[in-house]
A and B are shown apart, each in its own frame.
Chain A
Amino acid sequence: MAIAKAERLMNLALCLLGTRRPLSKRELRDSIEAYVEAFGPGNGTTGSDDSFNRMFERDKDDLRELGLVIETVESLDGEIGYMARRDSNRLPPITLDAEEAAALGLAAKVWQQARLAGAASGALQKLRAAGLPEDVDPYGSHGALEPRIPVHEAAFEPLMLACRDRRPVAFDYRKATAAHPEQRHVEPWALECWRGHWYLAGWDRDRGAERVFRLSRITGKVRSRGGRYTADVPDVVTVRETVASWAGEVADRSARIRLRAGAGYPLRAKATSVRELGDGWDELEIPYGHGLDAWLVEFGPDVVVLEPAELRADVVDRLRAVAKG
């Protein structure tokens, strides 16, 4: 049976961490059982060298992914050696009290995305090894608070890595009202989760402007593109403001409506004024932003728009479409 990958990676990590001098590829190949078993001793003459080299490169990348800083050192006789120096791999001293530890413990559990869930537990385990207190858990007593960060979108992981590594991407994107997806070329800046949905902000190369994309509208694969960013990355990326304006959260005007008494609680909760008319109806003043017409139509005959006329016309238009349907 082939030796498990975790065992091979663990041995490579311990060799690189334990050494006081750079180890050559040959030394590593000869001392790690998994390499010997798969490729035989490194005598430099067999065709297995290429496959060993590929595996060795992948293994080093995997170890770097989990945080190991591996140095490549060239010796006087031109041979390449590898080592993971203690001073560049040691966690700086960190002291956390029991309350702080419990708070981090709660935070580490919120990811519902495999890669980040694994990374968060890994971070906590490293802190645990560094002495993070483990006895008190104020939430454990009743387990009341269970925040979860949902990640259902397939595009999340490739975009997260692209944001991290500042790599341009291309993907097919279907706008909310478009019949067919269209390819977009984007320099990704940041991802933000708002009300349970993920959004990407970045530079849209085709439009030559900043754009926000909703991840659930990306169809197919996110593909990496070579090259550097062409636009400056802003210090502060404001995804939420953009999305809030789509959602009608940004109101610049106000509207006057009539609402049947007892109906439309959320409209009342948003109203700036409510006046009882005494005939089974109330008159409300509510903020008027994008999307208000669609929302008001949901209340059917319990809402009558008084003004502005433009909003009233939009609502009537929508109602007519349903009445004919």
Chain B
Amino acid sequence: MAGKPVRPVNAIDQTRRMLSLVTYLKERPGARVEDVARAFGISEDELVSDLDVLPMCGTSFRGGDLLDIDTDGERIWWHNPAALAAEAAEPLRLAADEATALLVAARAVSTLPGLRESDRQALLRATAKVETAAGEAAGASSRLSVTFESEGGVFADVDRAIAERRRLWIRYYSPARDEVTEREIDPIRLVSVGHTYVEAWCRRSEARRTFRLDRVAEIKILDEPSAPPEIELRDLSEALVQPAAEDPEVVIEVGPGGRWVAEYYPHDSADELPDGGLRITLRTPDPASLRRLALRLGREGRIVSPPELADSARQAAREALAAYDGMEAARTAGVAEDVRGPHAVRVVPDGPGEGPA
């Protein structure tokens, strides 16, 4: 489903919001529900639920003067603004968590290398002003920091292409295949989750694709207009790569030294093994792309299934080793300079004691 995720009602957040709301509404008789909800970054339903609570509130120890606030669904009317003394309706200072949340986020966004310079300057000015206004509450914000990574030049081009609605040509590196391919893409949006990605409609595959900016080897803005089909934007908060249920299953067993696999690869399950390792089950549209992982794991893990994947990793390792055998032999023979590469070496299949399992 598109749109805002439904947030559970949190009494602290709601109280905080209502305190700001009374200050805001006091100066704006007849404010429109739509405008106020937008200004507060909440849904109209959330605002209406606040407006249901406010008439039950007041400084009642002075004799029952509750806030007489109501709405006809379109505008908000406050019939007795004097019920709240001017001093009780002034904007409140920032709490430590509020200052931390806003300042850490602002500093992080200002590190985005592709941010437009005018926007960065505005953000830095705003950050300085908020720091001053927050006073002591700003102190704890130095205990949290976030750095976004992205390729500055690529980012700027993608950002411009989105603003000008133009198509992009890229050379893109795919680690799964270890190859660089050319594509034309219609960019939709930039997303930073640790790394920075562009979500786009790929004209080559005629499908939605997510490209990591640090894997863009080359980029050009084309003259053609960008025309991505209307697609529903996904909530990317969980994972950028979401395997489909029908994707083939891969089972990997790792020792303690290979537990990091569970941190880096979205998986269906990771079961503890008696030796401190894990049995990890994941799905991927293209199991062959995991050959790199199998090679990297070395003695720290092995592919249990599919068997073809395990075979291809073994085969790749043997081919790679053959080059070194040749090199050692050549060195011994004193002709190291003549060894130009593994092409000169015949791959010896299944050396002694290394037959297929």
Interface residues of A (CB under 8 A from B): 3-7, 9-11, 13-15, 17-19, 23, 27-28, 30-33, 62-63, 65-69, 86, 88-97, 99-112, 114-131, 134, 138, 141-150, 160, 163-164, 174, 176-180, 189-197, 216-217, 239-240, 258, 260, 262-266, 269, 277, 279-281, 294-295, 297-304, 312, 316-325
Instruction: Closest A residue to B188 by CB, please name it.
Output: A144
Q: How far is the CA of A315 from the CA of B49 in the complex (A)?
A: 63
Instruction: Closest A residue to B56 by CB, please name it.
Output: A7
Which residues of the partner chain A approach B137 to less than 8 Å between Cβ atoms? 67
Residue of B11, B101, B158 touching A123 (CB-CB under 8 A): B101
Determine whether B320 belongs to the interface, using a CB cutoff of 8 Å to chain A: yes
Which residues of the partner chain A approach B323 to less than 8 Å between Cβ atoms? 301, 304
New A-B contacts (5) at CB < 8 Å, excluding given A18-B85, A148-B237, A160-B144: A124-B41, A179-B256, A190-B144, A258-B341, A265-B180
**Contact A269–B217 (Cβ < 8 Å):** yes
B38, B97, B342 — most chain A CB neighbours (10 Å): B97
Residue of B140, B142, B158, B275 touching A179 (CB-CB under 8 A): B275
Q: How far is the CA of A189 from the CA of B259 in the complex (A)?
A: 27
Which residues of the partner chain B approach A97 to less than 8 Å between Cβ atoms? 122
Interface residues of B (CB under 8 A from A): 7, 9-21, 23-24, 38-42, 53-54, 56-62, 84-85, 87-88, 90-102, 104-106, 108-109, 112, 115, 118-119, 122-123, 125-126, 129-130, 132-133, 135, 137, 140, 142-149, 158-159, 162-163, 173, 175, 178-180, 187, 189-196, 215, 217, 236-237, 256-257, 259-260, 263, 275-277, 291-299, 302, 310, 313-314, 316-324, 327, 340-343, 354, 357
**Contact B106–A103 (Cβ < 8 Å):** yes
**Contact A266–B173 (Cβ < 8 Å):** yes
- Chain A to chain B contacts (Cβ below 8 Å), 26 pairs: A17-B88, A62-B11, A100-B125, A103-B119, A103-B122, A105-B41, A107-B123, A108-B102, A119-B100, A124-B41, A129-B23, A138-B119, A145-B189, A163-B144, A174-B259, A178-B256, A191-B145, A265-B217, A266-B215, A301-B316, A304-B320, A317-B298, A324-B354, A325-B314, A325-B317, A325-B357
**Contact B60–A148 (Cβ < 8 Å):** no
**Contact A104–B106 (Cβ < 8 Å):** yes
